[in-house]
Chains A and B, each alone.
Chain A
Amino acid sequence: VQLVESGGGLVQPGGFFELSCAASGFTFSSFYMTWVRQAPGKGLEWVATIKQDGSEEHYLDSVKGRFTISRDNAKSSLYLQMNSLRVEDTAIYYCARDHLPFGSGSPLEYWGQGTLVTVSS
């Protein structure tokens, strides 16, 4: 199982970013997928989760309306579109996979190495 995030970098407040996560080594379409973030020196914070077929999405309140999680099962890829970025969105963003196929969304068994998003003027 491999999860490889990409798309991080430096952006100004109010800006936009799209993160990607390329998955391999498992049947991507069978698993809930999740984004978790970690601000520098801080703990883990769940951001968003999407069901296997994309029919169900869940979001952290502070990102609702600004972030959109999506997936392309044909490409085994997970995405996070981030709009109206704030300084407090600065974090390492991890892509993570559910423990079981056709599970409930967590726990999170496999994690990518993460990609850093820095929101600063």
Chain B
Amino acid sequence: DIQMTQSPSSVSASVGDRVTITCRASQGISSWLAWYQQKPGKPPKLLIDAASSLQTGVPSRFSGSGSGTDFTLTISSLQPEDFAIYYCQQANSFPLTFGGGTKVEIK
């Protein structure tokens, strides 16, 4: 099984800050990586697939990069509505696996 390790597990940031979350796969997954955002009491929302492809309607302040084993999600200028938990997920093979999540909190 492919293990996904996210860091940090939480980050405290202010509105306007640049935030970077990393995700590492235990083996190469090419660009088969997705990022999700989850707010309290809601299901996850797909933000990015294929490591860097922004979903329709997702603000351009979100971006993804990486391939192989190392990936990043960057929020260029944090907005109030971005405080949430972010998960990476490998889409390379079954069993599908998620990272442990990164909670983005208000400083």
Contacts and interface: CB of A to CB of B under 8 A. Distances in A.
Interface stretch (B12-20, B67-75, B76-84, B95-103): B95-103
A107 B87 contact: no
B49 A49 contact: no
B27 to A, nearest CB: 17
A75 interface: no
Given A107-B49, A111-B44, A43 B87 contact: yes
A45 B49 CA distance: 18
Instruction: Give the interface residue-count category, chain B.
Output: 20 to 34
A114 B98 contact: no
A61 B97 CA distance: 12
Interface residues of A, number: 23
B46 interface: yes
B34 interface: yes
A102 interface: no
A46 interface: yes
Contacts of A88: none
Given A58-B95, A104-B91, A43 B101 contact: yes
Contacts of A104: 91
A87 interface: no
B43 A107 contact: no
A60 to B, nearest CB: 6
Interface string A35-52: 000000001111001000
B94 A58 contact: yes
28 contacts: A43-B87, A43-B98, A44-B36, A44-B44, A44-B98, A46-B96, A46-B97, A49-B96, A58-B94, A58-B95, A59-B95, A60-B95, A94-B43, A94-B44, A99-B49, A104-B91, A105-B91, A105-B94, A106-B34, A106-B89, A107-B34, A107-B49, A107-B89, A108-B34, A108-B44, A109-B46, A112-B43, A113-B43
Given A96-B43, A108-B44, 15 more contacts: A44-B44, A44-B87, A44-B89, A46-B89, A94-B44, A105-B94, A107-B91, A108-B34, A108-B46, A109-B46, A109-B55, A111-B43, A111-B44, A112-B43, A113-B42
